[in-house]
Structure 1
Amino acid sequence: MGYIDLHCDSLLRIFNKYEKENLSENKNLSVDFKGLKQGGALAQFFAVFLPDQETLKEIKVAEIDDDLYINKLIKILKNEVKANNDLIEMAYNYQDIINNQKANKISALLTIEDGRSVNADLEKIKKYYKDGIRLITLLWNHENCFGYPNSNDQKIMSRGLKDFGIEAVKYMNEIGMIIDVSHLSDGGFYDVAEYSEKPFIASHSNARNLAAHPRNLKDDMIKIIAEKGGVIGLNFAPQFLNNNSSNEDSKIEEMIYHLNYIKNLGGESVLALGSDLDGIHGNLEIDSSQKMPLLFKALKNDGWSNDLIEKFKAKNALRVIKEVLK
């Protein structure tokens, strides 16, 4: 079975270059369709990340309405998938992924990173679902209608979900949309754990005890996600792998260190992949989809069984997809 990557930011990188670039084969991206095929992908989650002012400057984009931006990125992915339907198809649930696999095609799934555009309106979540969004990363690095972000400020970090955030968690359970707690405050995390009746995930987070970044998960959080039947997607970003925040190296040996740590705390069924490729910087040992097999080979050399590797690669994520998405 191929791998499932729960998070990449490739759509952001192509947003203002779409007239000149595409997703089929793009040397400026870490994730493109041909690279996914070469790397053996089963499914790739493509994030519609809502940029802040700093990111807009970085990608040289003027300020744009959130929904106009979201609609444009959704259209870009769907158009690119349609133009390359010999390689890839859209997927909206478990059965779509299985059907695409049988047709020897990769599955593309849509997510939103930073639910600020929901603007405390459940109808907006419903609209996004109809547009094909199947996962929302509730927060990014700023407060929004759901709650508060990860932070080095303990007052902010301890704050839980807002009333709307609690309502939205229940609604997302109801309609069949995955809740993602990466970037969420610790207080918000515990509220999601309390109010979500379905498994939830941390799509691109590692272990805080090994790399003390507030984006990473505390030991009890790893256990809670496992107990709720969710998964944790391994993030390749150097600052989430290394305890020394100035270390810009993203190495496979550090990835394995985190994976073994998470496995020992939460068990084999909590492991998943959430590379964050095209959203991260540094000296990346795995800097593209094509190189993903290097990680699986290294896990084999570390003594992981084929069954455990398959759980990490896709089976655990597929279980959550099957249980949550409708």
Structure 2
Amino acid sequence: MQYIDMHCDSLMTLFYEDRERAELFESRYTAVDFRRMKEGNALAQFFAIFVIPRDRYDMHGIQAVSDEEYIRTLYRYFCDNLERHGDVIAIARNAGELRANRDAGKMSAVLTVEDGRTVDGKLENVKRYYDMGVRAMNLTWNAENCFGFPNSRDPEIMERGLTEFGKSAVEYMQELGLLVDVSHLSDGGFYDVAGICRKPFIASHSNARELSPHPRNLTDEMIRVLGEMGGVAGLNFGPEFLNADINCPDSTAALIAEHAAYLRDKGGIQCVAIGTDFDGIEGNLEIADSAGMELLAEALRKRGFTESEVELVFYKNVLRVMEDAMR
């Protein structure tokens, strides 16, 4: 079964662990690499440039660089790996390019940005990222920025929405064909996005809050709205987003399938997709890398998903969103 994964942090992992080689064909540092993607029958992988918080440099004992230098470095990793391994993978900036890559026997790589803080309140920076090939952007990570407010356990913060710039930027992103990603955004921000967007938007790596009470997960009403607007939520494989006890370290294919069934019941089968968060999660992961995706297909079948529904979850829903809102 082919699949599209809407989120991984593998470029960040290369920055921490393999800065000299930065090799993505076969890596002992990352959960996602081209060899295992091919083994798992990947159609496309979204690769995030996650703009790391400043304290991560000390945490990993590495020399701090400016956000711009960091972004340029990860962008170089992305481009260099696609150039080195162009026989197996190529960039996809829209659904047409993905299909062309597939017809040529290649997987696709979609470039994204996680945390829009470096947009710095300037629409020209949104356009600059688009011109680089970025085709989806998480508006926030876990702190307030020029777009708005993040997910939070503080109800007051969670209610706050987009800034005036954030509202203008979301409208502009939709005009450009750059996917608006609400994973990490506050609940208030989610509803602001829903009120602005006329094309589908995504929650690239978020599950159901009713099953797992992490504030990054989606409420029932948010799932319903996302589904009605043609958007998708990517099933996150991280234990803290799957379990009723968010401190439980276990992630199983059955738990992921449980969230898939819940999303389907609340938002319709059209809103369910995959967003593993590989290389941004840890724990006891039954599906630990790109090669293991068939385990999820089997778990979905055991939950009563038909073969056509599994195909929708694995790639067809995301491909539809790319057709509708990415260019």
* Aligned equivalent of 1:212: 213
* Aligned equivalent of 2:294: 293
Residue type of the partner of 1:315? K
* Aligned equivalent of 1:316: 317
Where structure 2 has 5 or more consecutive residues not aligned to the other structure, the ranges are none
1: CA distance, partners of 2:28 / 2:191 = 40
* Aligned equivalent of 2:278: 277
- Superposed counterparts of 1:178-189, under 5 Å: 178-189=179-190
Contact kept? 1:241, 1:255, Cα under 8 Å: yes
How far is the alpha carbon of 1:56 from its aligned partner?
2.4
State whether structure 2 residue 259 is matched by structure 1 residue 245. no
* Aligned equivalent of 1:126: 127
How far is the alpha carbon of 1:60 from its aligned partner?
3.1
Deviation digits for residues 150-183 of structure 1, max 9, x if unmatched? 0000110000100000000000011110000000
2: CA distance, partners of 1:226 / 1:82 = 37
How far is the alpha carbon of 1:65 from its aligned partner?
1.5
* Aligned equivalent of 1:231: 232
> What do you get for the CA RMSD once the two structures are aligned?
1.0
Where structure 1 has 5 or more consecutive residues not aligned to the other structure, the ranges are none
* Aligned equivalent of 1:44: 45
1: CA distance, partners of 2:292 / 2:166 = 38
Say which SS state the counterpart of residue 244 (structure 1) adopts: coil
How far is the alpha carbon of 1:58 from its aligned partner?
3.4
Higher alpha-carbon deviation: 50-59 or 281-290: 50-59
State whether structure 2 residue 8 is matched by structure 1 residue 8. yes
Contact kept? 1:13, 1:59, Cα under 8 Å: no
How far is the alpha carbon of 1:61 from its aligned partner?
2.9
* Aligned equivalent of 2:159: 158
* Aligned equivalent of 1:325: 326
* Aligned equivalent of 1:63: 64
2: CA distance, partners of 1:76 / 1:27 = 16
Structure 1 stretches of 4+ moved >4 Å? none
Deviation digits for residues 233-258 of structure 1, max 9, x if unmatched? 00001000001022000111111111
1: CA distance, partners of 2:107 / 2:19 = 22
Residue type of the partner of 2:178? M
2: CA distance, partners of 1:61 / 1:129 = 29
The 1:284/1:146 distance shift into structure 2, 3 A limit, reads same
2: CA distance, partners of 1:301 / 1:126 = 44
1: CA distance, partners of 2:182 / 2:154 = 18
1: CA distance, partners of 2:40 / 2:87 = 16
Normalising by structure 1, what TM-score? 0.98
How far is the alpha carbon of 1:21 from its aligned partner?
4.3
Normalising by structure 2, what TM-score? 0.98
State whether structure 2 residue 45 is matched by structure 1 residue 26. no
The 1:59/1:108 distance shift into structure 2, 3 A limit, reads farther
Deviation digits for residues 175-230 of structure 1, max 9, x if unmatched? 11000000000100100000111110000000000000101000000000001110
1: CA distance, partners of 2:279 / 2:168 = 32
* Aligned equivalent of 1:78: 79
How far is the alpha carbon of 1:86 from its aligned partner?
1.3
Q: How many residues align?
A: 326
Residue type of the partner of 1:136? M
How far is the alpha carbon of 1:62 from its aligned partner?
2.6
2: CA distance, partners of 1:294 / 1:32 = 18
Say which SS state the counterpart of residue 188 (structure 2) adopts: helix
How far is the alpha carbon of 1:19 from its aligned partner?
1.2
How far is the alpha carbon of 1:259 from its aligned partner?
0.6
How far is the alpha carbon of 1:15 from its aligned partner?
1.3
